[in-house]
Amino acid sequence: MSIEIYGRNTCLEVMKSTRKIFSGYIMENTNQDILNHLKRHKLNYKVLNKHDFKNKFQGNHQGVVLEIEDYKTYELKPFLNSLDLSTNPFLLMLDQITDVHNLGAIIRSAEAGGVTGIIIPKKRSAKLTGTVAKTSSGAIEHIKIVEVANLTNTLKTLKDYGFWTVGTDLKADKSYQDIFIDTPLCLVIGSEGKGLSRIVKENVDYNVKINMVGKINSLNASVSAGILIFDILRRKLDR
Do 165 and 125 lie in a common domain? yes
CA distance 8 to 237: 31
151 within 8 A of 121, measured Cβ to Cβ: yes
Check whether residue 129 and residue 223 sit in a common domain. Answer: yes
| Claim to verify: residue 183 and residue 128 sit in the same structural domain | yes
* Spatial distance between the Cα atoms of 193 and 98, rounded to a whole number of angstroms: 11
- Distance, in Å, from the CA atom of 217 to the CA atom of 25, rounded to the nearest integer, reads 44
Model pLDDT, residue 170? 85
Same domain flag for 230 and 165: yes
Same domain, 51 and 83: no
Give pLDDT tens digits for 12-36: 999 998 899 999 999 999 999 999 9
Domain around 48:
2-69
Q: What is residue 229's three-state secondary structure? A: helix
Residue numbers in the chain where pLDDT is lower than 70: none
Q: Are residues 174 and 115 in the same domain?
A: yes
CB 81 within 8 A of CB 38: no
Look at residues 153, 107, 112, 150 and name the one whose alpha carbon lies nearest to residue 126. Answer: 107
**Alpha-carbon span 23 to 31, nearest angstrom:** 15
Last residue of a domain, one of 69, 89, 124: 69
In this structure, the answer to whether residues 84 and 163 fall within a common structural domain is yes
Residues 6+ apart with CB under 8 A from 195: 168, 169, 170, 201
Residues 29, 122: one domain? no
Q: What pLDDT, on the 0 to 100 scale, is given for residue 239?
A: 76
pLDDT score of 233: 97
Report the domain count for the chain.
Answer: 2
Q: Which of 69, 93, 117 is the last residue of a domain?
A: 69
The reported pTM is: 0.91
Quote the pLDDT of residue 229: 97
Domain end position, chosen among 69, 96, 117: 69
Task: Specify the 3-state DSSP secondary structure of 210.
Answer: coil
Whichever domain contains 35, its CATH number is 3.30.1330.30
